[in-house]
Structure 1
Amino acid sequence: MTGGHRRILVVEDDLETAGQLMEQLTASGYRVDLASSGNEALSHGAAHDYAVITIDRMLPDIDGIAVMRQLRDSGVAAPFLIISALGEVDDKVRGLRAGGDDYLVKPFSFLELLARLEALGRRSDTIAKETILRVGDLAIDLISRTATRRGREILLRPKEFQLLEYLVRNEDRIVSRAMLLHNVWDLHFDQSMNIIDVYVGRLRRKVDDQQAYPLIHTIRGVGYCLRAPG
């Protein structure tokens, strides 16, 4: 990260920790903004283009995971580094599945933090170039969170867009209902598994109806696959 790409948002409600992070990161050449609550993080995250956002899991108003989800739904593409005292494997898995790109457990070495920020910053530069994904005549814009087919916009709700993005990123791969439940809804198996079929049905009507060929295919007894004709 160089120049304008060195702007970081630190989301941390502990004033001592926040002060240390801001002082050390500023001394290391980063431009640092601070948010001490979830609402402040949402405001900052939507208003500025950050190379990386560091976020605590436990905030006084909105849980850090909920903040990440809301920022992702609003089109924020910056990588998230979760910094948390919650260090169990389940905590890390939940954070990463919810949209985190890396996870650092408190207490931590500042040198390790810097190394992780640099790695995420390099990834951020790469991700910034990949803002539109395409399959056949379908295109999804990861910044504006919009989808088009043959140039015509498809009106999608946020969860429908997340579902479509996951299918597009797994083009030509069979994805099971369990994979969708875990990666799109961050849920485990439960008796409402038919929510997947309902959402895929809605998405298929919006994406495939009145089109030259279908993109979303049902793999009977297994799950779904998004693919264009070969």
Structure 2
Amino acid sequence: MTPVTRPRLLLVEDDPATTDYVRQGLRENGIDVVCVADGNDGSRQALSQPWDIIILDRMLPGLDGLAILMRMRSHAITTPVLFLTTMDGVPSRVAGLRHGADDYMVKPFALRELVARVQVLLRHASPVRHATVMTVADVELNLLTLAVTRNGEKVFLQPQELKLLEYFMRNAGTVLSRQMLLKDVWHMDFPVRTNIVETHVCRLREKLGQSGQSLIHTVRGSGYVMGA
């Protein structure tokens, strides 16, 4: 049986209470949510990997939501975008929609309505937004079957190892800090003392094997990067 792929949503919101509220509501409705609180980080995430939908605040530290949207559309990224903001004036709504937003909601808002609007955008979105097979060097990951191969040979991974590999592959060539991995793979948005990242990276390297030719490299003092 082919596993059901949960939609992936990027939430760019700097208010912790709103973030927790939205994230919980969406996850309860079968949507995986990755949260960032800074506009620059939000722009990097929006441009570096595919998403099924993106929710943007308008006023953000670093880079405002409208600028993020304009960057996306200038790069021909057609991912549906919903603005969730306190900017409720008609000029603000018109600016957001004219620059490529698909929907616009004003705070305070009803969570049920937000979930409904997200579900509508997901139904109307293209069913084939991005490739179902990801490739980095000789490693392939099928996003539908979750099958992993290296140089044509099957690699058997546990669910969390699969999530970690997918995150590395989506961000190939980018140095990923330990905190980024904890936040985006394990959804730990708070400082925590654990070696869970190091343990899983070590296991993933071992399982990918290939005579010691690791594709996941340690960048001393910074984190990890995946690449040939």
Q: TM tier, shorter chain?
A: 0.5 to 0.7
Give the 3-state SS of the residue equivalent to 1:125 in structure 2.
coil
Task: Quickly say closer, same or farther: Cα 1:124–1:186, change in 2 above 3 A.
Answer: farther
Of residues 75, 96, 101, the one that matches 2:3 is 75
- CA distance in 2 between counterparts of 1:88 and 1:118 reads 21
Structure 2 counterpart of 1:99: 32
Q: Shift of the alpha carbon at 1:75?
A: 3.3
Give the 3-state SS of the residue equivalent to 1:88 in structure 2.
helix
Give the 3-state SS of the residue equivalent to 1:175 in structure 2.
coil
Identity across matched positions, percent: 33
Residues 1:177 and 2:105 are matched in the alignment: no
Task: Quickly say closer, same or farther: Cα 1:146–1:225, change in 2 above 3 A.
Answer: same
- CA distance in 2 between counterparts of 1:96 and 1:201 reads 32
Q: Shift of the alpha carbon at 1:182?
A: 0.7
TM-superposition CA deviations, 1:149-173 (whole Å, max 9, x none): 0110111000000000000000100
- CA distance in 2 between counterparts of 1:92 and 1:177 reads 25
- CA distance in 1 between counterparts of 2:25 and 2:168 reads 21
Residues 1:166 and 2:167 are matched in the alignment: yes
Counting matched residue pairs gives: 146
Task: Quickly say closer, same or farther: Cα 1:199–1:107, change in 2 above 3 A.
Answer: closer
> TM-score, normalised on structure 1?
0.54
Task: Quickly say closer, same or farther: Cα 1:107–1:133, change in 2 above 3 A.
Answer: closer
TM-superposition CA deviations, 1:114-147 (whole Å, max 9, x none): 5x444323445124x5211001110001111121
> Quick check: which one's helix share is greater?
1
> TM-score, normalised on structure 2?
0.54
- CA distance in 2 between counterparts of 1:107 and 1:190 reads 30
The answer to whether the 8 A contact 1:216-1:225 is kept is yes
Task: Quickly say closer, same or farther: Cα 1:220–1:117, change in 2 above 3 A.
Answer: same
Q: Shift of the alpha carbon at 1:107?
A: 5.8
Residues 1:126 and 2:120 are matched in the alignment: no
Residue type of the alignment partner of 1:174: V
Residue type of the alignment partner of 2:7: P
Q: Shift of the alpha carbon at 1:95?
A: 6.1
The answer to whether the 8 A contact 1:216-1:224 is kept is yes
Structure 1 counterpart of 2:12: none
The answer to whether the 8 A contact 1:139-1:148 is kept is yes
- CA distance in 2 between counterparts of 1:170 and 1:95 reads 27
- CA distance in 2 between counterparts of 1:201 and 1:108 reads 41
- CA distance in 1 between counterparts of 2:221 and 2:113 reads 48
Structure 2 counterpart of 1:89: 19
Q: Shift of the alpha carbon at 1:92?
A: 2.4
The answer to whether the 8 A contact 1:154-1:206 is kept is yes
Residues 1:202 and 2:203 are matched in the alignment: yes
The answer to whether the 8 A contact 1:140-1:146 is kept is yes
Task: Quickly say closer, same or farther: Cα 1:95–1:163, change in 2 above 3 A.
Answer: farther
The answer to whether the 8 A contact 2:25-2:111 is kept is no
Structure 2 counterpart of 1:30: none
**Structure 1 unaligned regions, length at least 5:** 1-45, 47-73, 82-86
After the TM superposition, list the runs of 4 or more consecutive aligned residues in structure 1 that deviate by more than 3 angstroms: 93-98, 100-105, 107-110
Give the 3-state SS of the residue equivalent to 1:163 in structure 2.
helix
